[in-house]
Amino acid sequence: MSHLTTESVIGVIGAGTMGAGIAQVAAKAGHPVLLFDAMDGAGQRGLDNVAKGLSRLVSKGKMSQADLDTLVGRIQVINSLSDMAPAALVVEAIVERLDIKQQVFGELENICGDTTILASNTSSISLTAIGAKLQRPQNLVGMHFFNPAPIMKLVEVISGLDTDPAIAEAIYALSAAWGKKPVHAKSTPGFIVNRVARPFYAEGMRVVQEGGTDVATMDALLKQCGGFRMGPFELMDLIGHDVNYAVTTSVFQAYYNDPRFQPSLLQLELVNAGHLGRKTGKGFYNYAEGAEAPQPQTATAGTAPRSVIVEGNLGVAEPLVALLEGAGIPLTRVEGNGRLRVDDATLMLTNGQFSTRRAAKQGNRNLIQFDLALDYSHASRIALAPADQAEQSAIDAAVGLFQALGKHVTLIDDIPGMAVMRTVAMLANEGFDATNQGVCSEDAVDIAMQGGVNYPQGPIHWARQIGLAKVLTVLDNLARNYGEDRYRASPLLRRRVAGGAL
């Protein structure tokens, strides 16, 4: 199915947020584009929106007026579905309803030729189910763009049970030719991104629900320590709680109530209250004019370190050693298993266990765990979780140590896996599980999460940096401490750890 060239006519149905963006992407790649919307005037409005968006680029000097005119000139608004006949590929981006999508594709099959590829931009409907009503389900494929389509790199190419693999390959190649980063995925609930991303929201809400810390602090930690562009709470407020809660609930139900995807009561409360986020002026945050933005919790000055002992290798946190040296803090290295000692405090990277429990087991009351950072050298904030039995002097020493390295320090309650580590461990776990269930490859997980939701690093790659055995330990400790199936480690992660140990 390599018959798609830049001369191929691309049809787009639905000229809303996504359809207009997809039409722009196809036109930018040089295709003649036919744009159809069932609502009167909506097709033209979609085209006007494309022109309006591009004219901002022109006024910034990032695009010439001539290029804008050429691009917009390639998009023709049509007023009848029957005008789609010349299309070699039709991408559907209409209302998210199975019956209506089936009906539209059914009509298209009679309008277009046998070889026309029919693609759906659906986020949540089974491609297999859409195809079930078609004469040629082998020609149907998912082409899942992300919002805004002209900017976001990812396209999930979704195969239903009857999709011809050659069609999926053709759409993969076309997406790449359009400058996108395509990945293949099997039609399963949430596909890749909307499945693997669930823990980003869910773990944030778990930490807050359990009083680990507050919303603003959690967002600050995920950004300034975890390297994510947005924290989970501000992102949910932006997406809208009605939408985000509905996606979580649909994935949860589609996986037969697998506790891994269980929605949060915290979010349901916002939905019930009508606090849907930015669009209603209130969500986890208050967007009313003059409302004060809550600040993340930041510890006041601790005790400046006189010297530090580094026991063994710190693993993923090893860059801290160079930071210590750079800060001119006298440092002694001894054998051991990855600990920092400063005054009477002992610091360890979280392993998913309570600091309180680790302290008791080690017979060392002054144990304080620190969180995972994307990059310890550049992170501007770090979380510390002292054991319940830790003395104030030890907490002050731990706080002072990280402050001496130029970081804001946040003290959180003793929550298993802390903030960043448990989020990343659960994201990677979901990525391994999607791979294990044949949804996609490990590489596709990483490409999807970076290209679809801007994660600073693919979760599987990140887990390998942390060390798969360490990530497995975090998950096993979370599972033990919560006694919930939600935290069960993916068999594939377990197998990869076993393989790595060979």
Contacts with ligand NAI, residue ranges (CB under 6 A): 13-19, 37-39, 42, 93-96, 100, 104, 121-123, 145-147
If the CB atoms of residues 13 and 87 are measured against ligand NAI, the closer one turns out to be 13
Closest distance to ligand NAI from the beta carbon of 181 (Å): 15
Position with the least CB separation from ligand NAI: 16
If the CB atoms of residues 123 and 128 are measured against ligand NAI, the closer one turns out to be 123
Active-site annotation holds for 49: no
Active-site annotation holds for 144: yes
Residue 442 amino acid letter? E
Closest distance to ligand NAI from the beta carbon of 95 (Å): 4
If the CB atoms of residues 243 and 497 are measured against ligand NAI, the closer one turns out to be 243
If the CB atoms of residues 101 and 339 are measured against ligand NAI, the closer one turns out to be 101
User: Under 8 Å CB-to-CB from 276, ≥6 apart: which residues?
Assistant: 240, 241, 242, 270, 283
Residue 142 φ then ψ, to 5°: -90, 135
| Tokens, residue 349 | 């990277």
If the CB atoms of residues 18 and 399 are measured against ligand NAI, the closer one turns out to be 18
Q: Percent helix, strand and coil across the chain, each rounded to 5?
A: 45, 15, 40
| Tokens, residue 153 | 């790199």
* Residue 176: count of CB within 10 angstroms of its CB: 12
Closest distance to ligand NAI from the beta carbon of 358 (Å): 42
Integer CA distances (angstroms), 112 to 85, 87, 144, 393, in order: 5, 7, 22, 75
Closest distance to ligand NAI from the beta carbon of 40 (Å): 9
List the catalytic residue out of 92, 156, 430, 442.
Answer: 156
Active-site annotation holds for 366: no
Closest distance to ligand NAI from the beta carbon of 179 (Å): 18
Closest CA to 24 of 118, 122, 151: 151
Closest distance to ligand NAI from the beta carbon of 14 (Å): 3
Classify the C-alpha dihedral 80-85-88-92 as positive or negative: positive
Active-site annotation holds for 123: yes
List the catalytic residue out of 120, 121, 123, 187.
Answer: 123
Task: Please measure the distance between the N-terminal and C-terminal CA atoms of the chain and give it in whole angstroms.
Answer: 43
List the catalytic residue out of 31, 92, 139, 144.
Answer: 144
Looking at 255-300, list the stretches that DSSP marks H as alpha helix, in order from N- to C-terminal side. 265-273
List the catalytic residue out of 126, 139, 175, 194.
Answer: 194
If the CB atoms of residues 146 and 432 are measured against ligand NAI, the closer one turns out to be 146
Cα–Cα distance for residue pair 144/452, rounded to 1 Å: 10
- Pairing state of beta strands 367-370 and 381-386? antiparallel
Active site residues: 123, 144, 156, 194
